Amino acid sequence: MKITSVELEKRCRDPKGFPRSPLPEIAFAGRSNVGKSSLINTLLTRRRLVGVSSTPGKTRSIDFFRINDAFRFVDLPGYGYARVPKAVQNAWKTLIDAYLVNRETLVSVVWILDIRRDVSDLDRMLHDWLCSYAIPYIPVCTKADKVSPGDREKQRKALRKSLDPEADPVLFSAKTGLGKDVLWKRMRAAMLHPAASNASRKPLGGPAGRPGGAGR
């Protein structure tokens, strides 16, 4: 994907501020410190567009990046950082909920996991929740450079087994660029053929939980 322009269009702490013009959106979600900022910067070939944090749990807003004037990347606040007070966690939860449930322009969520870690309860909650609202997602395992090729495959298989046999997680590394092209291909396909508009989505048997819940 050739990136010709990237603009931080809006930084929102309130759903009322979400951009109104209808561009397709890909949202990025994962637990704090998973490598989300590095992944977005790598995809956009911008070194410091999204601040790679030395302070996990710092982001409190939903950031909308307008790309090539054609689509948006939406950076959702990282969840699950234990040192964030409960009240702040709850505010994030409300904000993330408001975005995911109601956003008609959302075409897919890039759901980010650290390849070295087991799927946490909060990860699982987000996954179940995306499924219950029939929101399409692309699972990505970051920091793949930190494990051997054999362990990468092992983790990919484990993820499939524990979450979804159909899921085909993208192995990604911001350090080496592994998986960048594959992920662009999947995101482009999602934008070209959105599964369903959010307007027509209904929870399938009610949500199993909510993302952004209390940190541990």
- Give the nearer residue to ligand GDP in terms of CB position, either 82 or 196: 82
> Between 59 and 105, whose beta carbon lies closer to ligand GDP?
59
Please state, as a whole number, how many other Cβ atoms lie within 10 Å of the Cβ of residue 120: 15
- For the CB of residue 52, give the shortest distance to ligand GDP in the complex, in Å: 4
Please tell me the total number of residues recorded for the chain in this structure: 216
Structure tokens at 135: 């929101």
Report how far residue 14's alpha carbon sits from residue 98's, in angstroms, rounded to the nearest whole number.
Answer: 9
Residue 95 or 198: which CB sits closer to ligand GDP? 95
Residue 210 to residues 101, 107, 123, 163, Cα–Cα distance (Å): 11, 19, 10, 17
For the bound state, the minimum distance from the C-beta of residue 77 to ligand GDP, rounded and expressed in Å, comes to: 10
Q: Classify each residue of 80-98 as buried b or exposed e, where b means 16 or more C-beta atoms within 10 Å of its C-beta.
A: bbeebeeeebebbbebbbb
Distance between CA atoms of 54 and 46, rounded to whole angstroms?
A: 18
When binding is defined by CB under 6 A, the residue of 15, 53, 71, 120 that contacts ligand GDP is: 53
Footprint of ligand GDP on residues 116-145 (CB under 6 A)?
142-143, 145
Distance CA 211, CA 133 (A): 12
65, 19 in Cβ contact below 8 A? no
Closest contact distance (angstroms) between CB of 99 and ligand GDP is 17
Q: Is 36 in the site for ligand GDP (CB under 6 A)?
A: yes
**Binding of ligand GDP by 78 (CB under 6 A):** yes
For residue 66, state whether it binds ligand GDP (rule: CB under 6 A).
no
Out of 25, 27, 35, 155, point to the residue binding ligand GDP (CB under 6 A): 35
**33 touches ligand GDP (CB under 6 A):** yes
- The closest of 66, 55, 140, 135 to 102, measured between CA atoms, is 135
Enumerate the H helices of 32-120 as residue ranges. Answer: 36-43, 86-102
- Give whichever of 18 and 172 is closer to ligand GDP, judged by the CB atom: 172
Is 56 a binding residue for ligand GDP by CB under 6 A? The answer is yes
Instruction: Count residues near ligand GDP (CB under 6 A).
Output: 19
Please give the DSSP secondary-structure letter assigned to residue 15: G
Query: Please, which residue, 171 or 198, has the CB nearer to ligand GDP?
Result: 171
The footprint of ligand GDP (CB under 6 A) covers 30, 32-38, 52-53, 56, 78, 142-143, 145-146, 173-175
